[in-house]
Structure formats: structure tokens, C-alpha cells
Structure 1
């Protein structure tokens, strides 16, 4: 089974948001003018041989790009192929806690994701701590972005070392850092190695662009700590896996990387 640990089925307002304009210089994709059908995302999974994708809501200050209810609708329309990940407005702690509980207990989501660069504060900011407590209480992972940002926003808040303090404060919380952590990949590996509850996913990077240190970690003591992700629709899942054979992973490591780790971490 192959599970894509980081994707999003975009709404039109997410796809058209000016914050993503800088990404188009890489993808060469035109500005969308119509909403993407769920069937198109499912077809992308089929083309890449992907069984499931975790898709997330996007909550930014004063801006809901993809709502939790929209994610739930996309997942319901996918025939079980898309799995919901919620998000919340961290500026309203009590509302955020209630929404996290709704996402998990009513909508059936498997995790919560909040992106520090959208809020321009690190994950050690006090506004994140109610989110961590709620996720720990409910037994679901907290997902976030580590590394530099494609959008033209400050990257410093994505330093993986911030997660060291979070993991110390919340040893009961499973934490998944997406986007490899580049250019601080060594930091990401160090934090994941130190803490049993911290993991890395490879979203936003095709296999051929994985840093050598991450590949070495994946093939050794990190075989249970690294999850495959694409960051669809920026990268098609199948394209993200092009060149996988060249990594030389043994069968067990390959199976864990492609789906076993995600199934365990997200309790799928």
C-alpha cells in the first residue's frame, strides 16, 4: 500500500491565492480558473499507483483557503481514497480546541496541520500550545511544515529545531514535519532521532532531490521515521516517486517509507 502523507485537494480560492504566485515559476502552471474536480485528484492517485492521500484544510490569519467541511466533502466524494486532515485558527484558542475535537470525533479526520509560515510565528509560540494539547488528548498527530518556504514568506519559523522544544513539552504528541526541513535537513534528522514521537515526510521534493543525508537516514536508523509525501497538486504523486528504485532501498524499508510508516503514525 502506498500512502501520500501530504497533499491538498485545493479549492479555487486556495489555488488562486496570490501567496502562491511565486510557486508558478517552478510548476509553470497557469492560474486556475475552475475548481478542481475530486475525480481529477483520484485519477492522479491512480496514475501514480497511490492508494490513499491525506489532504488538509488551510487556515491562515483572517483567511480560510480550504475549510474543514470542504475537506470532509472532498474525502466523502473520493470513495475512501482521500483522508482528511484538519486545520484551525490558532489566534482563537478555545474555538480551535473545539474545532479540533469536531474534526476528529465528527468529521473522522486523522490529524491536524498548522503551518508556522502562514502565521509568521514559530511552533514554540504560545498560540500553538492549545492545539498540541488537544491533539495529544485525542491521540492524533500534529503536522507542520519544516524548512524554507516556496511562497515568499519568512522561512526562519520553519527551523526544525523548534520542534525539539515542542517534543520535550509534549512527549505524548506525535509530530510530523513535512517538506524535509531543507536547508536544515540535518536539524530535522537530529530532532527525529532524538524523539520517538517526531517524524519527517518528504513532501514538496521529488525523489531525485532528496538530500543525501535524508537518504542515508532513511536507509539506516530512520527507516521507521520517514514518510512519503508529494505536496499534490504542486507535484503529482507519481512524479514525486520517479527514480525511487535508484535509492536502493531494501524491501522492508521501501514498504515502510511508501505506506507502512504513515499507516502506523496516522492509525489508518
Structure 2
């Protein structure tokens, strides 16, 4: 019987449009992925993989600027199995963007908002920049978790703005904000762990990381002070559930720690009512 799992980062929209050259390069050169990575997703096949690996719920990437047809269709068909992660907000026009975010959260099952600091093009802003403040305030107001990319990104774009040290000031100024680092924190794992120890509202998700490649420093943290702080995500189909969930189960983790990593921490942070969460 497979363990209970929540996969907190799943992409089902790649097949909706032709992917840009840099995304194809990431697939071919960085992840060494199959050509089928960007093919349209069949709902039945995804559910089969989820059922096989014990995935009770998956969070699908969506966008305010370009709504993901496939993700919303899957959520409508199986609201018990899927929720949405909402990105694509124009933070340079924050008032209409935050109104739109609030409307979408009221209408759809949105588990978290998301933003990637390295993905602004030439004008990159670190998370400590005031351009993000309306988003931080709105997410705190809505009790909506916010996930931010940390670590050097796979695409050939600058990564310094994704150093987790930039979140230090954010956590000080917005202690009410439920904040999660996603896609790991390489090569700044130790900074990320120090911040996780320091701030009760901060989490980290290991999406896009093969569990067998996670650093020993993070695994030690998971076994000790960080048992409720690290969250699983695959970044499917970049990394398949059939690969990463067995790798996670094979880690040298106590059963309770593994269950927290694969399911309980995500349930608490993304889905439980705020008054039910530990402070």
C-alpha cells in the first residue's frame, strides 16, 4: 500500500502551447527529459500515476495572465484530487492584479500564489524589493500561502535574486505571511535552513529536486528541528512521480518524518484552516 502523498507542484499546461527555445533547452540539457515532457496531458494517465504512487491530491500550476485551460479543466472534473497554484501576476500594476487574485481565490480552489524572482526578464527584483509588498500584504490578508522560487534556476537566466537571504527581510516585515521557498535552494541550502529555523512562517519545498540528490544538511534538518518544515513536490512531468516518490521513500528518514514530508506538512500549510495550524 503506497504512503499518502500530496504532490505540491505539478505542470499539466506544457502541451497547451509551443514551448520557447529556452524551455526546450532546459528539458534537453539540464533535466535530460524525454520529448514527451511537453506533450498534452491525459487526465486518466495522470490519475493512474497518482493512484499508483499514493498521491491523494496534486497542486496544478495556473496563471492569472494566461489561464491554464488544462489545469482548470482537471480541477473542475476532480475537485477532490486537484487544486491550483496561481502565478502570472503583473506586480508592476499591483492594484488590478491583487483585485484579480482575490477574485480568483474566491472562485477557484487556489492552494497558493507563486512568483519566480528570476523570471522577470532583464528587470529582476529580489524578494526584499517593495514591488512585491502588495502581493505579500494581499496574501497575508487572504491567508493564502505564497511560494517563491529560490536557488539558481535551470534556465540560462541570472539567479542572484533567488538567494534565500532576500527572504530574511520579508519574514521580518510580514510575519503574518505564510511563505514557502520552492525548487530547493541550491547552492544556498545552509542559508535556507538557517532562515527556516529562525522564522515560524517559512517552509521549503523540494520540487524539481530528485530526493536522492538532496543534501545531507537538509535531511539532517528534516530528522531534527525541521520535521514540520519541508514539503514534497515533484515538478511533474519534469520529474515523474514514479521516480521521485520511491526515491523519497528510500531516504534514511524515520517513518513519521517521511509522512510529514510527503503529506502532513503540505496538508497543514496549504489546506488546513488557519486556526488549526501550529504557531
TM-score (norm 1): 0.90
Structure 2 unaligned segments of length 5 or more: list them.
Answer: 273-279
Shift of the 165–15 alpha-carbon distance from structure 1 to 2, 3 Å rule, reads farther
Distance 1:250 1:32, change over 3 A: closer
Secondary structure of the structure 2 residue equivalent to 1:6:
strand
Secondary structure, in 3 states, of the residue corresponding to 2:267?
helix
Instruction: Tell me if structure 1 keeps the 8 A contact 2:61–2:86.
Output: yes
More divergent stretch after superposition (113-122 vs 42-51) = 42-51
Contact preservation (8 Å) 1:9, 1:74? no
> Which residue of 2 is the match for residue 67 of structure 1?
67
The answer for unaligned runs of 5 or more in structure 1 is none
Give the alignment's Cα RMSD to 1 decimal.
2.0
CA deviation profile, 1:142-170 (whole Å, cap 9, x unmatched): 01111011111111111011111111110
1:37 matched to which residue of 2?
A: 42
SS at match of 1:56: strand
Rounded to whole Å, the distance in 2 between the matches of 1:183 and 1:174 is: 23
Distance 1:98 1:68, change over 3 A: farther
The answer to whether the aligner puts 1:18 opposite 2:21 as a matched pair is yes
Q: Which residue of 2 aligns with 1:93?
A: 94
Identify the match of residue 130 of structure 2 among 117, 126, 131: 126
The separation in 1 between residues aligned to 2:146 and 2:128, in whole angstroms, is 13
Instruction: Give yes or no for contact 2:13–2:68 (8 Å, CA) kept in 1.
Output: no
SS at match of 1:177: strand
- 2:117 aligned partner: 116
TM-score for both structures, normalised by structure 2: 0.87
Going from structure 1 to structure 2, the CA distance change for 1:27 and 1:15 (only over 3 Å counts) comes to farther
Distance 1:168 1:15, change over 3 A: farther
Which residue matches 1:161?
A: 165
Counterpart in the other structure of 1:226: 230
Which residue of structure 2 lines up, in the alignment, with residue 55 of structure 1?
60
Q: CA deviation at 1:248?
A: 2.3
3-state secondary structure, aligned to 2:138: helix
Distance 1:164 1:9, change over 3 A: same
Give the superposition deviation at 1:11.
Answer: 4.0
**Taking structure 1 as reference, are residues 121 and 38 closer, same or farther at Cα in structure 2, changes over 3 Å only?**
farther
Q: Which residue does the alignment assign to 1:236?
A: 240
Distance 1:144 1:36, change over 3 A: same
Cα distance in structure 1, aligned partners of 2:112 and 2:187: 26
The residue aligned with 1:249 is 253
Give the secondary structure class of the aligned counterpart of 1:27.
Answer: coil
Question: 1:128/1:19 Cα in 2 relative to 1: closer, same or farther (>3 Å)?
Answer: farther
SS at match of 1:242: helix
Using the alignment, how far apart are the partners of 2:38 and 2:144 within structure 1?
35
Query: 1:83 deviation in Å?
Result: 1.0
Question: In structure 2, how many angstroms separate the alpha carbons of the residues matched to 1:19 and 1:124?
Answer: 27
Distance across 2 between alignment mates of 1:257 and 1:84: 20
**Deviates further, 222-231 or 108-117:** 108-117
Q: Secondary structure at the match of 1:73?
A: helix
Q: Which shows bigger deviation, 218-227 or 82-91?
A: 82-91
* Residue in structure 2 matched with residue 136 of structure 1 by the alignment: 140
| SS at 1:110 equivalent | strand
